[in-house]
Structure 1
Amino acid sequence: MLASVIVSVALGVIFLLIAILYKKKYLFRIILGTLGIVLLLYGGFSYGALRPIADIETFDVGNTSDIEYPIKKVQVTSPVEGDTVNCRILSMGVYPKGHNKDIWVLLRPSDQKYYPQSDYTNTSYKENGKWQVVTRFGGDKGEIFDLVVYETDSLASAFFSETILKWKDSNQYEGLSSAMLPPGAKEIERIQVKLKRDCRGVF
């Protein structure tokens, strides 16, 4: 299938070039040019069907709080305590200069278990004193969540990454009890938020 797509695109380009460069027989040039365009369109649509464009994940940002200066510790700037949030938000904040630990967001819904949050890099993204991570909620409208921010050493960070990978492989997101949280994870801040709508089964 891929070979036929390549051939179609190549022929389309050749036909178009001939139609453009050939100086005689106006009708012949129109026919050849039309065929070239049709072949290019066919090849493009066929390639798109073979390799579909991945969905772009979108997210909302909750309310934000002011940064406390000077920045001496990891701070959460969004969401804020008591926020009403959508199913997918960007949790974010700041960290002090020289901070060398990873930052993790864990959600604790009504089942009292903890769920590490990650994007494609697993740990929160850190750059120029700011951190952020896509946070995905799954639950009922009005459900209360604890959004808990931790800073972790390398062992705790590896534990959370491996846990997420294991859950994804088995498609079973069982959650972690408080006793299962690694000792190298230090709680920085805990914020309560409420779901704006039903998010069960969204992800």
Structure 2
Amino acid sequence: MTNEVLITVVAGLVLVLFAFIYQKNRGLRIIVGSIGALLLIHGGYTYGTVQPIPYMETFDTGNKLMVQYPVDRVQVISPVDKDTVKCRIITMGVYPENHTNDIWVLLKPADDKYYPQSDFTNTSYKLNGEWQVVTRFGGDAGEKYDLIVVETDSIASKFFGDTISKWKEADDYVGLQVSEIPETAVELERISVTLQDNCRGTH
């Protein structure tokens, strides 16, 4: 319950109680009691029905490649190379049955820095030979990005996860120099995409 609703309900109760206790002027009692009742109804209605609308992030998907089975390597199936993408997409791919390493997506915009992408689980979601990760762009319309898929061991995964946590805490996404990327993050595939819209300040 917000402070405004609480004040409304308390004021309504006080006015209703006053109307019950005050005996001298019947007309005043009716007016004050009616106002109190209206405040109580309004406060109760507001508390019960007016809730903050949660922010829901939405994501687009790009064009999609046909998958050749059996899958023999980790690969991106969406977006496709030279695709035009929106500000928030789901990058999707496939992996062979015996693949156990974590999969990460790194974005490399025009500043030549690297930006690991993640959702709440940090590493890409993997299930039944398919993987996906939330991918957010922050550049200008027409800007080109390298979208890089890497596989990592636990050390590199922890580094990327800790890096993202620090950036979020500071609200400052400074990017990584290539020299900062752990050697155990092995590049598997790289495609080029172009931003469809101006994505600055959208995250």
TM-score, normalised on structure 2?
A: 0.78
**What is the deviation of 1:38?**
6.7
Cα RMSD of the aligned pairs, angstroms, is 2.2
1:45 to 46, 49, 52: 49
2:98 corresponds in structure 1 to: 98
**What is the deviation of 1:39?**
7.0
Percent of matched pairs sharing the same residue: 57
Q: Which amino acid aligns with 2:170?
A: S
2:109 corresponds in structure 1 to: 109
Q: How does 1:171-186 map to 2 (within 5 A)?
A: 171-186=171-186
Q: Secondary structure at the match of 1:162?
A: helix
Q: Is the alpha carbon distance of 1:37 and 1:149 closer, same or farther for their aligned partners in structure 2, counting shifts above 3 Å?
A: same
2:201 corresponds in structure 1 to: 201
For 1:68 and 1:176, the matched residues in 2 are separated by 34
**What is the deviation of 1:40?**
5.6
Q: Which amino acid aligns with 2:103?
A: I
Unmatched runs of 5 consecutive residues or more in structure 2: 10-37
For 1:39 and 1:110, the matched residues in 2 are separated by 53
Q: How does 1:25-174 map to 2 (within 5 A)?
A: 41-45=45-49, 48=51, 52-174=52-174
Unmatched runs of 5 consecutive residues or more in structure 1: 9-34
Post-superposition Cα deviations, 1:137-196, rounded to whole Å, max 9, x if no partner, equal 011110000000011100000000000001111111111111111011010100000000
Q: Secondary structure at the match of 1:77?
A: strand
TM-score, normalised on structure 1?
A: 0.78
Q: Which runs of 4+ in 1 moved over 6 A?
A: 2-5, 35-39
Q: Is the alpha carbon distance of 1:70 and 1:53 closer, same or farther for their aligned partners in structure 2, counting shifts above 3 Å?
A: same
* Structure of higher CA gyration radius: 2
Q: How does 1:15-34 map to 2 (within 5 A)?
A: none
